Amino acid sequence: MRVLLVGAGGVGTAITRIAARRDFFDHFVVADYDIARAEAAVAALEDEACRFVACRIDASDESAVVSLLARERCDVLLNATDPRFVMPLFEASLTAGCHYVDMAMSLSRPHPDLPYRECGVKLGDEQFARAEAWEKAGRTALVGMGVEPGLSDVFARYAADELFDEIEEIGIRDGANLTVEGYDFAPSFSIWTTIEECLNPPVVYERERGWFTTEPFSEPEVFDFPEGIGPVECVNVEHEEVLLVPRWVDARRVTFKYGLGDDFIGKLKALHALGLDSTRPVGVRDADGEPVRVSPRDVVAACLPDPATLGERMTGKTCAGTWVTGTKDGRRREVYLYHVVDNQWSMREYGSQAVVWQTAVNPVVALELLASGVWAGTGVLGPEALPPRPFLDLLTAYGSPWGVRE
């Protein structure tokens, strides 16, 4: 397999470190708008760097990406950029006749009149609208293949296949006890993406209603996370699983709730009140007094520490998982399938902080399954469209086991 990875930030760099230990590929191109980041990711691989090459690419330039895929004779594009670049990379892969894997999906747009009741453009709608073209091309577009979405969707399919006869609710629940020394506010993942997820209207799925929206941070609940993390208050957040799971798994209700905490929610609300969550450029003046236009959200991201650099200051664990209720053999059952990563372990083993490493390992597992033909299909597919057991077995073989709590 020949791979083009677009994006050499925290997650992209962690992907290279994980992939370097596997032998399912023979050529791995690491591309980024900042060539220095791509070169640093490759250089850090030392003895394994011979299978990797760094180059510069503008992820918004579809024709340039098509040319790069052709020049490097790549079989698959792995997208590790933020969601703004999903569609040009997705379309470039189709044009080039390559497979495609991402960890997030095309962006949503709230309903213009009833944003907290009805869906507008949903996450992934633009990609699923192109499903027929991917099917005709005989190529796979595997979307939402990170940890959440991604592993959480695999858990949902596994529960449906092996643990339940009927499912009442599938609820993705994410929580952590991570702390970062020396910072009052230091998100462990991209603040650009975090703002997008947390301030958009959350989507809920119910069989009788289909997809609908609620107010941000609605329906708070305390969820008890395993392996010493403990109780964390979780709230509704817009996320891809709610749009993916119902397409392939029969459940009466699907939700996503994130453990944010009052302080984090308060800061997000303040950013929104000040208009600093906006992606629409505003006019300012640079240090020389020259007028320039910048996105307020990009300014916020630039003012905060890069999540990839926080590992040495970070302690604690992060947990991603899927809570499922329903019946098995006529008896009520409730389980939580989960994956926990300890930051101390991920830093020691890979030099990557826990949240980015946990996101990065899953697309690498998926690439290996695609390379071997164990996972195969055509069209636009979510992780729950494919058999879960091979994925979970291979994840364990990577040295990162998962768990089930009744």
Judge contact between 203 and 257, C-beta under 8 A. Answer: no
Q: Which residue has the tokens 């650009």?
A: 192
Query: What b/e readout covers 237-251, taking b as 16+ CB neighbours within 10 angstroms?
Result: bbbbbbbbbbebbeb
pLDDT of residue 45: 96
According to DSSP, residue 136 is labeled H
pLDDT of residue 227: 96
Judge contact between 342 and 354, C-beta under 8 A. Answer: yes
Strand 230-236 and strand 221-225: the pairing is antiparallel
pLDDT of residue 34: 97
Cβ neighbours for 82, distance < 8 A, ≥ 6 positions apart: 104, 190, 192, 193
Q: CA-to-CA distance for 400 and 394, rounded, in angstroms?
A: 9
| Cα 97-356-171 angle, rounded to 5 deg | 85
Secondary structure element (H or E) that encloses residue 270, with its range: helix 262-273
Query: What b/e readout covers 19-39, taking b as 16+ CB neighbours within 10 angstroms?
Result: bbeeeebeebbbbbbeeebbb
Q: CA-to-CA distance for 65 and 95, rounded, in angstroms?
A: 10
Convert the pLDDT of each residue in 171-197 to its tens digit: 999 999 998 888 878 777 678 788 887
Q: Give the chain's residues under pLDDT 70.
A: 189
Give how far Cα 307 sits from Cα of 4, 103, 105, 194, Å: 23, 17, 21, 12
Residue type, 155: F
pLDDT of residue 68: 98
Alpha-carbon dihedral sign for residues 58, 366, 360, 127 = positive
pLDDT of residue 331: 98
pLDDT of residue 305: 82
- Residue 202 φ/ψ, nearest 5 degrees: -65, 145
